[in-house]
Amino acid sequence: MTKLGTETTPLRVAIIGAGPSAFYVLDALSKSGLNVEIDAFDRLPTPFGLLRGGVAPDHQRMKSVGKAYEKMAVSNPKFRFIGNVKIGKDISVAELKNHYDALVFACGAETDRKLGIPGEDLPGSHTATEFVGWYNGHPDYRDRVFNLNGKTAVVIGQGNVAIDVTRIMAKTDAELASSDIAAHAQAALKDSQIQDLYLVGRRGPVQSAFTELEIKEMGELSEAEPIVNPADFDLSEIDEAELQLETNHKARKNMGVLREFATHEPKGKKKRVHIQFYSSPKEITGNGKVEKIIFEKTKLVGAPGAQQAVGTGETIEIPCDIVLRSVGYRGIEIEGVPFEAKKGIFPNDEGRLKEGETPLYGMYAVGWIKRGPSGVLGSNKPCSTATVKTLLEDLDKITPAPHRDSSALIEKIKNKAIQTVSFEDWLEIDKQEIARGQAVGKPREKFVTAEALIAASKTVSKE
Ligand code: NAP
């Protein structure tokens, strides 16, 4: 049998999706010592996935890891980025298999979990994905309109995404000026009339899913202040036990910050961030648009570390103008790939996809489509490394692809009048975005449509 990864027969790998997980796959394969040809496809004309389109624009320090990804790309001459190509639409998975020995799905979790409550789809009720995509200049969400003319916004969920969207709405224009927020969102937020922001969790402070750094920032805003109810910190014995669990250092740190907030008298700042616990969304109501959200108060049941919220029957109402639902993400299906609908992931063992219990040698997953939407950016490194380990252990079991280069595939893409974007093209986009940002005192001013990104990638400054 042909040995893959040798001088004469390189291992050919296609990565589907070019976000952080994909770059950790690239890194692990580059360090494998084998001869590997790697093409990373992305449906967008830009690489870096959630690093560009998800990480909050005011968290620039986190974005600096992009430089490491860039180094991984440019230091491997056998790596290509092929942007603006959607696998499953422009090119099928079956076609890819004809050209690559191994496919690694790094396509993330592209959609949101649903709440399943009445009024969820009323105008004025949006997913966090839409709002985050909008302020981060994601081409899919650039044209979304959010009503920031009212006084009250409600964010459902208490994860890091929920706290990101709340903070972005709570910040002043001056506080956002040093971020790379998209210009259209910056302008809209500058005119925002929102004064009361509710960040609402169905469980208690011990179970909040945000991290200490993120919650701390709420106490450091120039024109907004956190409001908490001190009664929420009278913990039950089970909560106290949960707080002491060895693995629960995040909750201990969060509690420290939240309890500190509870000791402050309100300073009368222009905006208030109400951090509200034990409230499960029941219904969003309004006459043709969001006007009110009804929550059922909850209590927790279960053992320490596994407590769940159950309704008490008591309801509370918050009149509001906009609702952002931030209750987690879900992966979506790609034709030709097994999908576990309940979890929204591609079923796998150690990263190797499986159909029922049958292992699919040559098909792998990394990141959120492998393990679900959890963890921070850095969590993707061990995740991708583990999948690459599985892939390399499988080499003898993988059937080599019949076509040993991608020229026919690239030709096919071109015949569909699709303009692909290479990594070199991306570096040109990057250069121009940074220059546009410098002109207005920002680290970057993004191009926010596919057309503008592609046009920028093919421009004169390269000549
Ligand atoms: P998440 O951390 O899973 O938080 C989801 C939140 O939604 C939880 O508070 C959860 O409450 C709540 N929720 C879920 N279903 C609900 C329902 N039916 N009704 C009411 N509330 C519900 O998800 P995320 O905020 O989308 O973040 C995704 C991942 O990205 C996380 O791993 C996060 O850490 C990461 N991320 C990190 C950063 C950063 O490092 N700064 C920034 C953004 C995202 P329960 O706990 O009760 O289920």
**Structural domains of the chain sorted by starting position, each given as residue range(s) with its CATH number in brackets:** 11-110+330-421 (3.40.50.720), 114-327 (3.50.50.60)
| C-alpha 201 to ligand 1 mean position (Å) | 10
The residue whose CA has the least distance to atom 7 of ligand 1 is: 327
Going from the C-alpha of 450 to that of each of 87, 415, 418, the distances in angstroms are: 17, 19, 11
Hey, which of 161, 239, 283, 330 would you mutate to test ligand 1's pocket, going by the most ligand atoms within 8 Å of its Cβ?
161
- H or E element in which residue 105 lies: strand 102-105
**Which residue stretches of the chain have pLDDT < 70?**
460-463
The pocket around ligand 1, CB under 6 angstroms, is made up of 115, 156-162, 164, 201-203, 207, 209, 214, 280-281, 326-329, 373-376
What's the pLDDT at 463? Answer: 40
For residue 128, the ligand 1 atom closest to its alpha carbon is 26
Four-CA torsion 118, 121, 122, 128, nearest 10 degrees: 120
| C-alpha 159 to ligand 1 mean position (Å) | 4
Q: Cα(165)–Cα(135) distance, rounded to whole angstroms? A: 9
State how beta strands 279-285 and 292-301 pair. Answer: antiparallel
Tell me which DSSP letter residue 278 carries.
Answer: S
For residue 113, the ligand 1 atom closest to its alpha carbon is 15
Give the bridge partners for 318, in sequence order. Answer: 293
What's the pLDDT at 462? Answer: 45
What's the pLDDT at 460? Answer: 58
| C-alpha 133 to ligand 1 mean position (Å) | 17
| C-alpha 67 to ligand 1 mean position (Å) | 27
The residue whose CA has the least distance to atom 42 of ligand 1 is: 160
| C-alpha 37 to ligand 1 mean position (Å) | 36
